[in-house]
């Protein structure tokens, strides 16, 4: 078939294979044209090949430039570096897009529809850290270096502003801490203000807010925001915060976008506490697959998938345990497929 799309599939660790299988059922029911190249990474990569990011996996993404990825396990405090961070670096996936939309009404906040755009490669996340020994204490002092560049900030801000225009967002808020980290986050703020004045003025409203105030405003009145754009570490924290506003990590998809590749994933981790039990909620990775369909210019399929998920949760009342329901992962997938096929 000429209109197939080659894509890399990384089922991932823990609950990854269960939620990815559920998503593949939904994509098949839609007739999505993906031809999958299955690869491993994370703990699965370490166990099979002694490498959390095997060469074959990197080669596959280099070829397809497109991947759907389950969560990958990363040891805390020691061990191998996060494969997720390495993938972002390897493919220069500079923009992290995390939409947060209320799907199940009646939670803490109804009708939230926000998107966080996070710079994905720079800032305090780059991992340039070291300890300084004093006397007998090898960890007497800990130091970290953050780096933000004008070019990196502009690339991300330009992506965010373009996305705001093409998706009809009315307001973009730059989140920073330029009152204290005047250079590190000041450069991001300054670049955003300059870019808006030069190229985007009038296309949407631009606002700025300090990160701590932003966190408070989000939990008091999330509707005052539309799109938040920010540096790496603040974006990491805020995107989990906004996921919490709409029902938790089980509902939050994410996209990592670069010039040459894009990787779609759920925001949550591998949930080792429930792995293998068949009870994980596949909604987040299904929504990530919908973002992937949008990215591949298949917006009708993306909408059909989102609508089927909405109907399953809100009309059929089929929900997994994290949402107070009794359905297993496979029951949920079956219900979504039924909605896709029968409306």
Interacting residues with ligand NAD (CB under 6 A): 15, 19, 71-74, 84, 249-250, 265, 268-274, 280-281, 284, 322
| Residue 13 CB, nearest approach to ligand NAD (Å) | 7
Cross-strand pairs, 113: 101
User: Rounded to the nearest whole angstrom, what is the least distance from the CB of residue 329 to ligand NAD in the complex?
Assistant: 8
- In the complex with ligand NAD, which residue's Cβ is closer, 284 or 289? 284
What sign for the dihedral angle of Cα 163, 164, 165, 168? positive
Q: Is residue 230 classed as helix, strand or coil in its secondary structure?
A: strand
| Set 59, 110, 212, 260: catalytic member | 212
Which CB sits closer to ligand NAD, 169 or 319?
319
Based on the residue annotation, tell me whether 94 is a catalytic residue of this protein. no
Question: At its nearest, how many Å lie between ligand NAD and the CB of residue 270?
Answer: 4
Provide the 3-class DSSP secondary structure of residue 204: strand
Q: In the chain, how many H helices and how many E strands?
A: 11, 12
Q: How far is the CB of 278 from ligand NAD (least distance, A)?
A: 11
Residue 236: active-site member:
yes
* Other beta carbons less than 10 A from residue 197's beta carbon: 10
Q: 125 catalytic, yes or no?
A: yes
- Nearer to ligand NAD among residue 45 and residue 192 (C-beta): 45
Smallest separation (angstroms) from ligand NAD to the CB of 243: 10
- List the catalytic residue out of 125, 159, 196, 200: 125
In the set 177, 196, 200, 331, the catalytic residue is 177
- How far is Cα 193 from Cα 191, in angstroms, rounded to an integer? 6
Nearest to 246 by CA among 119, 138, 135, 105: 105
What three-state secondary structure class fits 15? coil
Catalytic residue among 236, 294, 322, 331, which? Answer: 236
For residues 88 and 92, give the distance between their C-alpha atoms in angstroms, rounded to a whole number. 6
Helix (H) or strand (E) holding 153: helix 150-166
Active site annotation includes 212: yes
Q: Quick check: 319 and 325 in contact, CB under 8 A?
A: yes
Which residue number, 114 or 280, has a Cβ lying nearer to ligand NAD? 280
Q: For ligand NAD, which is the closer residue by CB, 87 or 174?
A: 87
Residue nearest to ligand NAD (CB): 269
State phi, psi for 13 to the nearest 5 degrees. -100, 170
3-state SS assignment for residue 4: coil
Catalytic positions, written as ranges: 125, 177, 212, 236
């Amino acid at each position: 078939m000429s209109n197939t799309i080659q894509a890399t599939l990384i089922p991932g660790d823990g609950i990854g294979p269960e939620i990815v299988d559920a998503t593949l059922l939904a994509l098949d029911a839609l007739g999505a044209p993906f031809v999958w190249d299955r690869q491993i990474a994370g703990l699965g990569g370490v166990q099979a090949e002694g490498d959390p990011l095997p060469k074959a996996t990197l080669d596959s993404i280099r070829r397809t430039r497109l991947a759907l990825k389950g969560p990958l396990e990363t040891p805390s405090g020691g061990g191998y570096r996060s494969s997720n961070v390495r993938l972002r670096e390897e493919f220069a996936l500079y923009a992290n897009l995390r939409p947060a939309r209320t799907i199940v009404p009646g939670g803490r906040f109804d009708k939230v529809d926000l998107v966080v755009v996070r710079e994905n490669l720079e800032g305090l996340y780059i991992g340039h850290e070291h300890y300084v020994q004093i006397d007998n204490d090898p960890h007497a002092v800990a130091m970290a270096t953050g780096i933000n560049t004008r070019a990196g900030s502009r690339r991300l801000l330009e992506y965010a502003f373009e996305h705001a225009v093409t998706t009809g967002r009315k307001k973009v808020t730059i989140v920073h801490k330029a009152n204290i980290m005047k250079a590190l986050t000041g450069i991001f703020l300054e670049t955003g203000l300059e870019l808006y004045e030069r190229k985007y003025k009038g296309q949407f409203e631009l606002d700025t807010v300090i990160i701590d105030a932003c966190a408070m405003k989000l939990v008091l009145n999330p509707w005052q925001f539309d799109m938040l754009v920010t540096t790496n570490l603040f974006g990491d924290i805020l995107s989990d915060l906004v996921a919490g506003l709409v029902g938790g990590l089980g509902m939050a998809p994410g996209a990592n976008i670069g010039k040459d590749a894009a990787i779609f994933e759920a925001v949550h981790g591998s949930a080792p506490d429930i792995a293998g039990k068949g009870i994980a909620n596949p909604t987040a990775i299904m929504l990530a697959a919908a973002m992937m369909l949008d990215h591949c210019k298949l917006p009708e399929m993306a909408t059909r998938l989102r609508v089927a998920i909405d109907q399953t949760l809100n009309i059929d009342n089929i929900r997994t345990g994290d949402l107070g329901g009794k359905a297993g992962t496979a029951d949920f997938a079956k219900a979504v497929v039924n909605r896709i096929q029968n409306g």
